[in-house]
Structure 1
Amino acid sequence: MGSRRNFIKKGMVMATGLLFADHAIPMNFVSNSKLRKIGFIAGIVDKEMKADWKGTLKKAVAFGFSEIEGGDEYAPSSKEFVDYCNEIGLKPVASGIDFTATADQLQAEFDRINVLGVKYVVIYWPWLTGGPFTLEDCKKSARVLNEVGAQAKANGLSLLWHNHNLEFHAMEKGLPFDYLMKNTDPQLVQCEMDIYWVKKGGGDPLQVLRKYAGRISVLHVKDMAPDGDFICPGRGIIDFVPIFREAEKQGIKHYMVERDNEPEGIGCLESSAEFLKNISF
């Protein structure tokens, strides 16, 4: 009889342990996930880079940044820029190109960019007009993106296009964002999704990530102030936790802080780094 009671007691203990373990594993996984690397776009500290690009980059590394987008335009040469980045532990990840450049101009840009050793080239405004965009605008943009993407690939680079809010304003049929994603070759064209601009346009950054899993390679991370203006990450109302959780699940590796026309670039970098290093998802 005693043996039977002991058996039942042990079974209840094991069952209880499994019950708690079933809930503990995912909770622990979520709470312990953090960004492995954080980066920033050089323009956020434009005036500081113009005054002292080396000193500014060194401060960024001290804050915890390990990746940078752009920046070689502040140095005497792309080689000197990348050499210094390598020296202080900062990796160039992406560099911008002009959507309206000719094939020869693009080739010169690709030659320059390859000195940096980056993987991505970015078109920040993939449009021939200022918007709002029409279906015809979308057709022209998709065609050019595919052409530039093919040339970038031939140079060992991957093309990204960067969204703003107008891609989430309805046109004759559907959204410009969806049109560009559906009518560009996934092997040639990926997206650098700006979280703030998706939300500003009326979209849901989390749902966009899920809808286009595998098509988004880099996230631009900036926050939204209560009045709808942009603000440095961690100072606004955007809930980054579910966005980062989904991005991590998809294998997105690059999270670049951006904040247009930032008056206090160094302060923004410092507070953004503190927020992004400590956020758990």
Structure 2
Amino acid sequence: MDFCLQLYSARNFQPWKEVIQETALLGYTQVEGFEELYPTLEAAQKIRELLDQYDLDMPSGHFDLKDLEENLDQCIKIAVLLGMHTIFAPYLTPEDRPKTKHEWTVFAHRLEHVAGTLKHKGFHFGWHNHDFEFRPLPDGTIPMEIIISEAPSVEWEIDVAWIIKADLDPLDWIEAHGTRITAVHIKDIAPEGEGTDEDGWADVGFGTVPWGHILAALQEKSRTKIYILEHDDPNNFLRFADRSLTSLKMLEGV
């Protein structure tokens, strides 16, 4: 299994040349991009050169949904340049989040439309969750269920830790909707009272998420092809990237 590193984890540890070099030296073969990494074609070209220099692939990347709707040609040019085959929309700011079942349905149809457009361009497209999609609406509906039912062409990059943060069991979601999952963000939650200087997150294998069971479930029930390590706010990027990769290789027996 090839493990991928979400470069968002290293956003506070510049320059990118050193980050990408260190990532390759640790043994990673893939990285996942995020939009602030490639705001222009010129910026993307510089990242492309670094990927080539250190023999790294970027199979997937994040793009803001509005940019995919309003600046699709630019997004596609960047994705092609960086070698992506899958694009994920990753987030909604609080003010942009739907508030009702109807609004979430409209949002899901937006995702479905983008998925159809990108499919014709040769790309896979999916949604990357946080916790807010799992917070029940006033009528008890869970928004993620709406996305799954109303946007059938949209793949799912499951962020397991955020589901746990929403007080739900990710294994239930993998069991019910595994066929929609094509990528996973692998990160860990610090034990209660720890990791306060890292926003409550932990290096993979040093927190409370049962990754052995979850990876086994994903391999059995899902279509996961990209396994992406992430830490939302590490205070030491190299420590996180190194210890987390070591933990996962031990779990996989490789």
Q: Same fold (TM over 0.5)?
A: yes
In structure 1, which of residues 162, 165, 168 is the aligned counterpart of residue 128 of structure 2? Answer: 162
How far off its partner does 1:47 sit? 2.6
User: In the alignment, does 2:2 pair up with 1:37?
Assistant: yes
CA distance, structure 2, for counterparts of residue 252 and residue 102 of structure 1? 23
* Letter paired with 1:244: L
Structure 2 match to 1:106? 72
Give the conservation status (yes or no) of the 8 Å contact 1:63–1:270. yes
User: In the alignment, does 2:145 pair up with 1:211?
Assistant: no
Moved more, 78-87 or 241-250: 78-87
In structure 2, which of residues 128, 137, 144 is the aligned counterpart of residue 177 of structure 1? Answer: 144
Give the conservation status (yes or no) of the 8 Å contact 1:41–1:258. yes
Moved more, 92-101 or 215-224: 92-101
CA distance, structure 1, for counterparts of residue 233 and residue 42 of structure 2? 24
User: In the alignment, does 2:203 pair up with 1:232?
Assistant: yes
Give the conservation status (yes or no) of the 8 Å contact 1:99–1:127. no
Structure 2 match to 1:262? 234
CA distance, structure 2, for counterparts of residue 102 and residue 168 of structure 1? 24
CA distance, structure 2, for counterparts of residue 90 and residue 162 of structure 1? 22
Give the fraction of aligned pairs with identical amino acids, expressed as a percent.
21
* Letter paired with 2:18: G
* Letter paired with 1:182: S
Q: Aligned ranges for residues 185-224 of structure 1 at < 5 Å? A: 185-186=152-153, 189-224=154-189
CA distance, structure 1, for counterparts of residue 107 and residue 93 of structure 2? 6
* Letter paired with 2:148: M
Question: Whose Rg is larger?
Answer: 1
* Letter paired with 2:167: G
Structure 1 match to 2:197? none
Give the conservation status (yes or no) of the 8 Å contact 2:31–2:58. yes
Q: Please give the per-residue CA displacement for 1:174-233, whole angstroms capped at 9, x wherever unaligned.
A: 2111111111023xx111100100111112112211111210111001111122832221
Moved more, 66-75 or 252-261: 66-75
* Letter paired with 1:264: N
Structure 2 match to 1:19? none
CA distance, structure 2, for counterparts of residue 265 and residue 155 of structure 1? 35
The 1:232/1:156 distance shift into structure 2, 3 A limit, reads: same
Give the conservation status (yes or no) of the 8 Å contact 2:178–2:223. no
In structure 2, which of residues 28, 36, 51 is the aligned counterpart of residue 85 of structure 1? Answer: 51
Secondary structure of the equivalent of 2:67? coil
CA distance, structure 1, for counterparts of residue 97 and residue 121 of structure 2? 31
Give the conservation status (yes or no) of the 8 Å contact 2:87–2:124. yes
CA distance, structure 1, for counterparts of residue 151 and residue 98 of structure 2? 20
* Letter paired with 1:178: E
In structure 2, which of residues 22, 27, 36 is the aligned counterpart of residue 59 of structure 1? Answer: 22
How far off its partner does 1:104 sit? 4.4
Q: Please, which runs of 5 or more residues in structure 2 have no aligned partner?
A: 194-199
Choose between structure 1 and 2 for higher RCO, CA contacts under 8 A separated by at least 6 residues.
1
CA distance, structure 2, for counterparts of residue 47 and residue 175 of structure 1? 34
User: In the alignment, does 2:217 pair up with 1:246?
Assistant: yes
Secondary structure of the equivalent of 1:174? coil
